[in-house]
Structure 1
């Protein structure tokens, strides 16, 4: 089969017609970049053959956004001296026309044949070996032989489903070569296997278990055997029960004579009396145990108080060590101060010397620059004087507003910080009020108290944020220290915020936040006015007259300034600069009369500046450390003096003596109580109350069980006598004989069915073995074609196929010897290469069977390395000697040595 011409119109991206004509019988290399329409042409070929012309499920063929389009595909191909012309249109104005003409070179004189609609589509399906869906779009299971040979983009490695869908056609091709042998292996042998399998399934399941009548007979046999076993058990039980009856009669007579439960109950009462005495001792013991808790808590409290006194002593020792450490650190820092001051002085002197050298060099450079700049300024001023005659009123007003803005301008960052600080102080004040100590008072008429500097009368409430004294007339004074660390921390934070607010107000030059907000609002208003005047000035002078006026004034000032600077610079250059290098190092000294490089002088200044910064930072760090050390020394001394005074107070010694005496008394009382509890506990343990409880329970349980066992034996004796009388009338021996006879009959029937099932299984195995041998003979032609191509890719390798004619395993020689690998375990590129080889072999097989072949490859072998791709090109070229190949690719540079001229899609003529 050779495709001669392809034409598409109104199909996806090809809204205008596109035609590929004069297609070669071998390889046709069709190239184009991504999104150029290569896959669209492949889809068009598939639609022309696979899709029903009347199908409404092919809307994907329409160009995007054009729902009224009627996709059309036109094909011309040759097969067996016939020219086939197919024209198919979808969706709108649906049609399918097929015309078959004899070629001029054919000897036949048959007339042309024209088919339309479904008849034409069925003729094509019969020719190429595929089928149409009952309804909806065509799918892979309908594509048959073309689905195997026409490879979609990225699907070259997917072979199993394609072979399965084309399996019947492949078996037919193989059967044509081997005659009836192929039919037996592919279809005729199925009838015999099916018959054997049906009969086997009537007796056995898929796992080999009994089924149907075989299972029913087997279950009946098992049921009969269970009944026989049950009868044997019942007969044995009857004999055992007769023996049991004699034993029960003897035991019942002994119970009536001895009555052992009465002696056990007497032992129970004696053990209970001993247990009651022990429980009285335990009750007294629990009372003494309860006294231990309060006594132990008293001891813990006394020890905690003594530990507190000891901790104060240790804290004093720690404070003394910290005080000495702070004094040593202060002395060491003070000793370093002269050396740091000397280093700072030297750095300052070096900086001044470098600064003088840089100024000298800059004056020299500045003089030359000033002369050139003044000449340029003279020309600019001459041009500006002519332009500045208008808009003076607006300009003056704008100048005044800018001056006022300069006076009223306020730093927004400082203002925002002031707002946050004010808000934080307000929130802090609320927190202080919340945790402050509240003193509520209610005094009798005429009575007064003094709290700090406040006189309290009648009733009310005071909040204390700081320590205060409460004076009670004719009684004394109370010192109230509010809060704790939280309140102290809040007070310090409140003071810090107040100081920061004062500093911010001073920086902003305002009395309070209200004034600052007013200045900010005034600044915004003034800025808006300035913007309005600037817009007005721009409308009066579109070319920026006011700006030119400012430039004129600036240039004049700059001219005067530069002139004076030039004169001063010239004079300064005629004088020797002051000697700033006396205190500098020899390397930093420079003759003032010599020419100076400003860059070099600036680098020296930067070095001196860095050294000065380091010296100043060292001095600042030293001062901070010195201040910190002085503060820590004072704080440590004060804390040590306070603790020492507390430890030496007389009342503390009295309290310590009282606590030690109380601890001694409590320990003595605890010892007496422990001795009493221990002695009683020994008495209780000697009595073994848990064993006494067990004895009471054991004797009670034994008496109850003994009496219950006697009653149970009496009941069992009566029941067993009645039961044996009933069993003697059932005839168990006769029932067993009948059951034995039925069991033997079922065993013969099951044995017969078992023999039949084994015979069918053996027959099925022999038939499958025979069919496997025939299938291997059928695979031989396909294996020959596969080996032809495989030797070009993997020399001395073998590729085996399974019963479904699908490549299964590759055998080749590696570093470790012969390797066997499943196809599915190979890499994507290797599976794609073997998939193409297999398809070429299928095409050869179909061609030998007289069926048409056409191979379509859409961007195939993109995952192959350069070596494998070169070998696959040899394979592809060899296959193209027998089949037409349409190869679509977006990498034409990879196929330059394929032996086919590339056809660029964009260069094809549109009709």
Structure 2
């Protein structure tokens, strides 16, 4: 089967229609973004074959919100050397027409013809579902369903087996079917299809299991009862012993003793902390006294150092005083050079400003002359533009009304022509002096008249002659002529013209005026982009600016004549910068020298004062007394520090031997012990009460008697269960043996399908195999050491195996002479790059035998498929423009 053309109209999003023609026998790659209509085209093909043309469920095929739509699908395909054409319309004016070469089928006959051809069936009522789709449901893959093949094979199984029987003949004998069915029926009474118990077998199994649970539960409760009795005796003895010994009280006494010892250690720790603090203060005082003693010793050395500093500062002052006069001379020379360079720059600025003003005046005069010329031209064009606008205003006419007038005038002319053809024409040629009376009017000589109504011709001396015009449509033509005449007259009056020619002339003048307006408007915009008034404003601004520049130029002072050696402004400014730099450098040097001089003077005076002050202090009697007092304080502090150090060591020894950290742990340990002992005694008391209550309740239930009764009942049920269990297993074994024998025959039936399946599978997995069961369903998959069911593979692998299986079914159907068409809607989207390349080889190979419609929103993944892609968006644009 080769699909050649598909057209849809008023079908979901395709309101205006879309045509997909020139389809190739091999792969047809149709691509487009999401919501572009790919799945809609697939749905249209399904609707053409699967949906009854009278079905009420076809309402979902209509465009959204369009209740008057009639969804239409047209298909042209070739099969068996014949040309098939299917036209199917739903909802409004529904119909179904099928043409096979010269044969024609309509309605349900056409639908059944298609179902018989492709191998599917229609539902008895309601919408078509998956179980009705047969072979097309297997080969036409909807978006996102490529991995689900089991139901499709199940619904197409009968057609597949029929195709296999045509290939290899009926190999499976039906002689053993009755035995298998009988064994299977007996097995069904005891087991489900999966081997689970059912009926009496299941009921006995459930009863047996329930009794076993009850027996185990009662046995456990009996054992618990005995264990509780033993626990009661042990627990009562432990509780009595604890009441006698009361171990928690001993633990609390030990805790109190540990707390008393710890408080003694804490007192020693506080004394030790105070002693350490006193030692720190003594050591700090001793350190300060020693530093003071060292300070007094170092002062003699500092006195000599300060005398040397004074002599160096005095020498530096004398040096700086000698350098100052020379720097003053350098500053005065640099200042003279700077003033001269500054005057040169001022003269250069004045010359440049005069030249710039002269150039501005010349430019403004030229701009003013040009602006005056543009202003004059613009005024002339404005006059012409106003005239053209006036002409347009006079000749304004409604083009639509003119078009309607011309149409009505043509109809009026046509009506006149028709009425002259149909009307009765009366002609006369009378002798001189003779006359007749026609409808009350006297006629003489020669003439003619068209009679549209009944007329009377009076012949003097003879009588009256009645004339009745013939033709059935004469009256309607006359009314049409009158109506058109009134319409044309009314339209001429509305357009204020005398005739159609005058209206056309008026339109021509209007168009000429609009062209002139456009041309003059463009010329005016080129001369005055901002308007004629703006030109006047620009002229006033230029005149004002010219006057200002001229006044400024005349106010400038005259530049002194310098001959031909006048320096340019740039050179003068460069020399001024150099002179300014030299002046700045000289002034900076002078300021630095002054700073150094002031600094040297200050340092010299300060050094002298410091030397003289320290010399006086060192020779004073108070200094000698302070030195002796510091020596006495140091001796006293050293003695106190030695005594306190010995006291601290003795106290530290006492604290360390007492182990305060262990005393704290003993307090915590004894407190926890007392609490745990009391809690354990309370728990034992509570448990004793619970055990006594539980034993009283269990003793009233009679556990051992119930246990014995249930054991007897379980033995009876177990004997009956074992009988049915042996029968079920025997029937299951017998059925499996019969099925294995039958499968040996069925394998010959599966061989052709397995051949095609292996052909594709080895392209993707060279050493893999995929087996099919007796229902031709792909099942066990093996590759090397891997073994499992196809349903256990990853999503992408199941999608690949599903497509490979469908192609194998297509080869089988084609070999049996059945029609095939493969439709893939966005398939293989979960395949990695390597697997996708292998699947492309498989598709290209299958396309040599089958037609494939491949719809995708990822055309870049299929560019190496060897076929020209068809852009669905481009097809939609072509359909709209066509």
Q: TM-score range by the shorter chain?
A: 0.3 to 0.5
Task: Give the structure with higher Rg (CA).
Answer: 2
What TM-score results when the alignment is normalised by the length of structure 2?
0.46
What TM-score results when the alignment is normalised by the length of structure 1?
0.45
